[in-house]
Structure 1
Amino acid sequence: MADQPPAGRRGPRRRSAQAPAQRQRRSDPARESAYLLLRAVALQDAYANLELPRILRAAGLRGRDAAFATELAYGALRMQGLYDAVAARAADRPASSIDPPVLDVLRLGIHQLLAMRVPDHAAVSATVALARQHVGQGAAGFVNAVLRRVGERDRDDWVALLTADEPDEVARLAVEHSHPAWVVRALRASLLASTGSDEELAALLAAQNTPGPLSLAARPGLVDDAELTAAGARPSPTAPTAWTLPAGDPGDLAAVREGRAAVQDAGSQLIPLALVDAPLEGPDARWLDLCAGPGGKAGLLAALALERGAELRANEVSPHRAELVRQSLRAAVDAGARAEVTVGDGRDVGAEEPGRYDRVLVDAPCTGLGALRRRPEARWRRSPRDIPALAPLQRAPLDSALEATRPGGLVAYATCSPHLAETHLVVRDVLKGRPDQDTELVDVRPYLRDRAGLPLPAVGRPDESWAQLWPHRHGTDGMFLALLRRR
């Protein structure tokens, strides 16, 4: 694997008198795996988190080699906006004019030079070999020349050079933190609405470029603390069910393989916990997860339903995703939970079963702008045009959920996005459209509790009832949650 010095700051740049093109004929399996992932993302619209494990298994990579390939690939995907600007300046031509396979190779090389503890000579040599192996000798020479120019400056110097003549703060932040400018503007508006200030915008963007911890959800009643501790996991302070796995493959844990625990962001775990902990008048026997795929929140709800004697219906419109939900619920069902998975359009449930359920979760389809740290390619796949296209898939399920909820029952509306058009505006529009004002907002913030049982701090403005989690504040994905009660 890669030639890396011990952790810490990079020392002086190390160069070799021998030209990289003369030193190395083939790249190593870790870098090749990273390149294959970038091409799969570009050509097949692959999801990095699903495709990379397959590539690593095919290459037989584990341990440090797999970790190097993951850091390299995810970093190059995440930071491609900045790296493309660097490549364009170093090549003296627009990035759009560089052949896509060559540009992917350059992104990998630039990430090693500007963001990894790889000596310059090793980064250039191995990347040139990668170009020669997969693109051709002519491309290898071009990559060699561009990377040598890139290596003349460090990351901060490149950012300063690229933004020196840019008067617009949003545009500068977009380059520095490698986000599309429209995403930066949307996050700025969300921060202003949630906190009253945009002073944390740079910190938020930086947090979305920092990979989140590997979080596990310990499903209540199905796994105990001792088992997770023995497996190397550590309790997270963020949520009562959350654990962190500092190292290793979660698939090696029996609890994860058997579905008694699952990989799940701590913020995502807080959503079903808050719904279930909010007080309810009258019966509390029928729960519904209206948009359940792929099943993480449903799995947690099923375990909680088992503890509380409730029954859960997990509904999903996609048959393939419904099968994933069944797998997620299997451990709870085997332990005696009354939980079923149905396939259907959640927008129809309210009309088909009016007033049937006591608690309903609507985990609505969204842009996923709150989970960019975990989905490195997502920021480049979304566009402002997605927002109006998603609107009916957010408002209609929430309306359906309210119809399916009995008077006095509760509905939780959640998205993994802080975008105002997917959060505040959806809830306000649905409330305005309800007949005879039959729905009210419930302050959800007291029910977002950490492991110590205390309400999470700084999740919203004092005059609002919904909650917004932030990567830079809470160490979670950017989850939004509103709680509504049928009158």
Structure 2
Amino acid sequence: MSGRAAPARRVAAEVLAAVRDDDAYANLLLPARIAQARLGPADAALATELTYGTLRMLGRYDRIIRLAANRETSAIDPAVLDVLRLGIHQLLATRIPPHAAVGDTVALAPRRATGFVNGVLRTVSRTSAEEWDARLTAGLTGHARLAAEHAHPEWVVDALGAALDADGRGGELAELVAADNVAPAVALVALPGLASVDELGEPGAYAPTAARAPGGDPAAVPAVRDGRGRVQDEGSQLAALVLSRARPVATGERWLDMCAGPGGKAALLAAEAAVGGATLTANELVPARAGLVRKALTVLDPAPAVVEGDAARFGATHPGGFDRILLDAPCTGLGALRRRPEARWRKRPDDVAALVALQTRLLDAAVEALAPGGLLAYVTCSPHPAETREVVAAALARHPGLAALDTRAVGQDVATADLGDGIGPALQLWPHRHGTDAMFIQLLTRP
């Protein structure tokens, strides 16, 4: 295995470096690097496991490095630290033989550090994963223990626990943080009017547009290859469908996707709008992401308009101008940790206040841009109460007449299976219960 695995390890190391140095997103960068390296299926699978597995467990591996190297990780060259993390993941979380894990990983290290890397990895290899876990959790209880056991920052565990409590699921925290470390199944979406679920595979679990991806490269499916089907989490599909199918579409309705990048929900909304005789405008602040939205919408004829700029402007430039609005707000991303494992280490508790201020500003603008009697979907891929229920409650207090609709009931009408109970009018999805990202969805309307 070691000879074949070397290029996979190199790709993984390159992605880890880009995540560290450039704030790259592994789920976007890794497929491109795999293609550039022309990895075969076995090497591509290994590169994926090494990249995502290392990023998920990064905090755990850093604690092991401190013990094995007897020095703080801040004192270790970042490139060397990445190599150590990759090696430890192979030793403790894969079936790669230790000699291959150590030997091929040492080959990735800068020449000046090969002896150090070899020594640390051999020290780690002399202790089993179970023994390392016991050392890392010794004396810990409650959220601190869960954080150490499942490689989450403790503040993230606190936030997830509060979100579960708010949804009446306070006893499920251990299940949730464990689910965050399981690679998600690949789901596909059949764009209405362009593809059918049968073309893509077996039906999905909840979204009527969803299919379970067959094994291998999803692009091997003809409808995916030509853009009529896409890879999309079922939670994201439901977020769009709750808005588009909450009630029948009237011909001529005007729809707005305020924060459309990279375009997955926009494509589903645009297809739904086309079927119902509505028109969609997709907005994105970042030009590069706006380009991704345009690419995502090219399968539609005519393609919806894609505009660039601060979405908050719509409140002033188009007051009452849209019948349905999707505000998929920028957030901490704590609901997508299976898919974006680096997010748990990239975000900080201090980030929440700034994001809440942005979410509040965008939601106020969305309310102003909503036509009387229209529908507004406030969506986040975070269940953090400060970003979800509290943002909505504050908006309801600021805007007389604004009302929260029973989104859970709407979601249940749309879904093909029972979504389960919860507290309040919002629909909160969960990785450990639904197999989706932890999407928060709240429908609002105004008189």
Cα separation, 2, equivalents of 1:273 and 1:347: 23
- Confirm or deny: 8 A CA contact 1:238 1:450 kept in the other structure: no
The one-letter amino acid of 2:27's match is N
> Is 1:286 equivalent to 2:254 in the alignment?
yes
Aligned match of 1:40: 18
Q: C-alpha distance in 1, partners of 2:196/2:137?
A: 52
**Could you tell me which of 40, 47, 51 is aligned with 1:73?**
51
Map 1:189-200 → 2, pairs under 5 A:
189-197=162-170, 199-200=171-172
Bigger CA drift: 248-257 or 466-475?
248-257
How many angstroms apart in 1 are the aligned matches of 2:252 and 2:124?
62
Tell whether the 8 Å contact from 1:439 to 1:486 is kept in structure 2 after alignment.
yes
Q: Does 1:438 align with 2:401?
A: yes
Gap change, CA 1:190 and 1:122, over 3 Å in 2: same
Residues 260-305 of structure 1: CA deviation (Å, up to 9, x unaligned): 1111111000011111121369877221112212111110011111
Measure the CA separation in 2 of the matches of 1:413 and 1:393: 13
Q: Deviations over 1:219-268 (max 9, x none)?
A: 01101234323xxxx32112111122242223343423432111111100
Whole-Å Cα distance in 1 between the matches of residues 306 and 91 of structure 2? 49
Counterpart of 2:149 in structure 1: which amino acid?
E
Q: Indicate if the aligned counterparts of 1:280 and 1:409 stay in contact, CA closer than 8 A.
A: no
Matched with 2:174 is 202
Residues in 1 aligned to 2:393 and 2:166: alpha-carbon distance in whole angstroms = 14
Q: Deviations over 1:77-109 (max 9, x none)?
A: 110100111111122222222222221111111
Q: Which moved more, 1:263-272 or 1:273-282?
A: 273-282
Residues in 2 aligned to 1:438 and 1:88: alpha-carbon distance in whole angstroms: 56
Letter in 2 for 1:33: V
* Residue 457 of structure 1 pairs with residue 420 of structure 2: yes
Aligned partner (choices 414, 418, 430) of residue 470 of structure 1: 430
Counterpart-to-counterpart distance in 2, 1:60 and 1:253 = 20
- Please report how far the alpha carbon of residue 43 of structure 1 lies from its aligned counterpart in structure 2 after TM superposition: 2.0
Judged with a 3 Å threshold, the aligned counterparts in structure 2 of structure 1 residues 348 and 146 are, in CA distance, closer, same or farther, namely: same
Tell me the SS of whatever aligns to 1:102. Answer: helix
Task: Pick the aligned partner of 2:288 from 293, 302, 320.
Answer: 320
Instruction: Return the alpha-carbon distance in structure 2 between the equivalents of residues 450 and 145 of structure 1.
Output: 59
TM-superposed CA distance for 1:47, in Å, is 1.7
Q: Contact conserved, 2:80 with 2:117, CA < 8 A, in 1?
A: yes
The code of the aligned residue for 1:211 comes to A
Shift of 1:365: 0.8
Task: Describe the SS at the equivalent of 1:384.
Answer: coil
Q: Secondary structure at the match of 2:126?
A: coil
* Distance in 2 of aligned mates of 1:289 and 1:301: 8
What are the within-5 Å matches in structure 2 for residues 330-341 of structure 1?
330-334=298-302, 339-341=304-306
How high is the TM-score relative to the length of structure 1? 0.87
- Equivalents in 1 of 2:128, 2:283: separation in Å? 50
* Structure 2 CA distance for aligned equivalents of residues 83 and 71 of structure 1: 15
Moved more, 220-229 or 34-43: 220-229
Deviates more, 1:94-103 or 1:367-376: 94-103
RMSD, aligned α-carbons? 2.1
Q: How many residues align?
A: 447
The aligned counterpart of 2:443 is: 483
State how far apart, in whole Å, the 1-side matches of 2:336 and 2:59 are. Answer: 18
Q: Quick one: structure 1 residues 54 and 65, their matched pair in 2 at CA, closer, same or farther if it must change by over 3 Å?
A: same
Q: Once the two structures are aligned, what percentage of the paired residues are identical?
A: 54
Asked whether the equivalents of residues 31 and 72 of structure 1 are also in contact (C-alpha less than 8 Å), the reply is: yes
Find the aligned partners of 1:450 and 1:209 in 2 and give their Cα distance: 31
2: distance between equivalents of 1:341 and 1:452? 29
Indicate whether 1:104 and 2:82 are aligned: yes
* Residues 81-230 of structure 1 mapped to structure 2, 5 A cutoff: 81-131=59-109, 135-136=110-111, 138-166=112-140, 168-197=141-170, 199-229=171-201
The one-letter code matched in structure 2 to 1:67 is A
Answer with 253-262 or 439-448: which moved more: 253-262
Structure 2 unaligned segments of length 5 or more: list them: none
Q: Partners of 1:58 and 1:272 in 2: how far apart?
A: 33
User: SS of 1:332's equivalent?
Assistant: coil
Q: Which amino acid aligns with 1:221?
A: G
1:64 and 2:64 equivalent? no
Could you tell me how far apart the structure 1 residues matched to 2:73 and 2:184 are?
A: 29
1:315 Cα deviation (Å)? 1.8
TM-score (norm 2): 0.94
2:333/2:381 contact within 8 Å kept: yes
Q: CA deviation at 1:127?
A: 1.7
Q: Which protein is bigger by CA-based radius of gyration?
A: 1
Aligned to 2:241: 273
Quote the offset at 1:34 in angstroms.
1.2
The 5 A counterparts of 1:373-392 are 373-392=338-357
C-alpha deviation, 1:358, in angstroms = 1.5
Structure 2 counterpart of 1:271, one-letter code: A
Q: What is aligned with 1:307?
A: 275
Does the Cα contact within 8 Å between 2:315 and 2:365 map onto a contact in 1?
Answer: yes
CA distance in 2, matches of 1:415, 1:96: 33
1:415, 1:481 within 8 Å by CA — same for their partners in 2?
yes
Hey, what does 1:258 align to over in structure 2?
Answer: 226
Shift of 1:453: 3.2
Give the distance between the partners of 2:366 and 2:446, measured in 1 at CA.
Answer: 10
Match of 1:10 in 2: none
- Amino acid paired to 2:63: A
Matches within 5 A, 1:324-363: 324-334=292-302, 339-363=304-328
Of residues 235, 244, 265 in structure 2, which corresponds to 1:297?
A: 265
Q: Residue 24 of structure 2: SS of its match in structure 1?
A: coil
Distance in 2, Cα, partners of 1:73 & 1:319: 28
Supply the distance in 1 between the matched residues of 2:395 and 2:252 (Cα, whole angstroms): 24
